[in-house]
Amino acid sequence: MKLSDDSCYRALTARDRRFDGLFFVGVSTTGIYCRPVCPARTPRRDRCRFFVAAAAAEQAGFRPCLRCRPELAPGYAPLDSGSRRAHEIAFRIDRGALDDGGSLEALASEFGMSSRQLRRVVEAEYGVTPVQLAQTRRLLLAKQMLTETRLPIINVAFASGFASVRRFNALFRSSYRLAPSRLRKLSDQPANGPSLQLTLCYVPPLAWGRMLKFLEDRAIAGVEAVEENAYLRTAFIGNHRGWLRVEPVANEHALRVEISASLTPVLSKVLARLRNLFDLDARPEMIAEHLGSDVRLAPLVRREPGLRVPGSFDPFEISWRAVLGQQVSVRAATTLAGRVAQQFGESIETPVFALNRLSPSATRIAASETTEIAQLGIVRSRAATLFELARCAGRNGWTDKTPSQPVGPVDDLLKIRGIGPWTAGYIAMRAFHWPDAFPNGDLALRKALKVTSAQALRSRAEGWRPWRAYAAMHLWNALSP
């Protein structure tokens, strides 16, 4: 989306939440940059500079506002074809692609380009380099942790993606003209216990009840649970194991995340996965405007404002769960998923009675035998598919991250015996978090649209691009209570 400076200023004076995250405003007289929803007094037009990204504002010498806190600004999904590639790259950087030794060359190879081309694409869209984008992301996450938790500063430095405390302190001081310890003194958060709490913001509306119901119906026993108005699950990233709880914050467009202290070293990855799971970077008003032009979808869009596509915390988990869901009911697939987790998942102790198992890893399932999987009551051919899926996931590197583009992984999935267009589309939709993914041939979608063939379904869905995954969610919901 391209916005003129005048449009940005009008949105700023109106404090229109629909523009939160689309741009930032730097105020020349204070040297501070803010979100368009900042409660501070609106500056004069001639004192404002507008930026498409927080990194661009910081590169121009502005410091983040302590009132509206730019680190809480919601992200956004790709909106137009001209800048889609730059947004995809920025999305991967925001998900930590350049952390833990990640290089520009490796990231560029994911997109089939050289590191020089990647820099040029990002700079053309955001006005800053990929490294500057990553640096700003780390600084803003560190600022959030300093504000919302009492984690020791050394833990904050490493958890936000910095390789050394010295580098963290130097960049924080030079960028924000404030020592990390000084910002900590301004925070009134209580001391840390066995867990810490952080906030994840989103662009409203969010159909939380519908999201929670979808996840509850498919919750894997021992791994996931829904209690009252919250989603809970176990988690493992690398050698770190723990649990988390997510619930909405009353009267705010935000989710409160409680995370076990054991996951602190991989906190940035946990938060990124949660944004994927709850689709928090979606722009619901833009999606609704597009899908609402379809006669069949219009009443569904009005009935479910803020409907999101439930994503994944672990791409492999959604993938094997999708295989189990072939040609059986949701309830039957959920029962089988619980058995798989019990057999192949690692046990874990948590303060939540319902959470006692980690989701099985691709490595563990790939090391098993097809007969071992089939003994759980799974059809032998499907057990063989599950085994091959685990090998494919490990071999192609999407066991612990979302692929930047689903085309290659989907092609790999379709080569596995027992995985067809429906399963591959569903995995791309949820595990790979692709907004235009579509489960071709789905019987429920054909029933909702009253079409008899998969070809007719595909033809009808063409008009929903690039939001076909959201259209599918609306149609599935139309058939459920």
Task: Catalogue the active-site residues.
Answer: 34, 442
Cβ count within 10 A of residue 452: 10
Instruction: Show Cβ contacts of residue 26 under 8 Å, excluding neighbours closer than 6 positions.
Output: 32, 33, 48, 49, 50, 51, 57, 60, 62
Residue 19 φ then ψ, to 5°: -100, 0
Q: Can you tell me which residue has the tokens 């010295």? A: 166
Q: Can you tell me which residue has the tokens 């979608």? A: 445
Residue type, 104: L
Q: Are strands 63-64 and 32-34 parallel, antiparallel or unpaired?
A: parallel
- Residue 287 token pair: 């999606």
Cβ count within 10 A of residue 368: 16
Q: Do residues 163 and 130 lie in contact, with contact meaning Cβ atoms separated by under 8 Å? A: no
- The Cα 22–Cα 330 span in angstroms is 38
Max intra-chain CA distance, the chain: 71
- Residue 261 token pair: 């202290």
Q: Do residues 218 and 321 lie in contact, with contact meaning Cβ atoms separated by under 8 Å? A: yes
Q: Per-residue DSSP letters for 393-437?
A: HHHHT-SSS--S-SHHHHHHHHTSTT--HHHHHHHHHHTS--TT-
Instruction: Name the β-bridge partners of 406.
Output: none
∠ CA 390-394-399, nearest 5°, is 90
- The Cα 430–Cα 425 span in angstroms is 9
Cβ count within 10 A of residue 239: 7
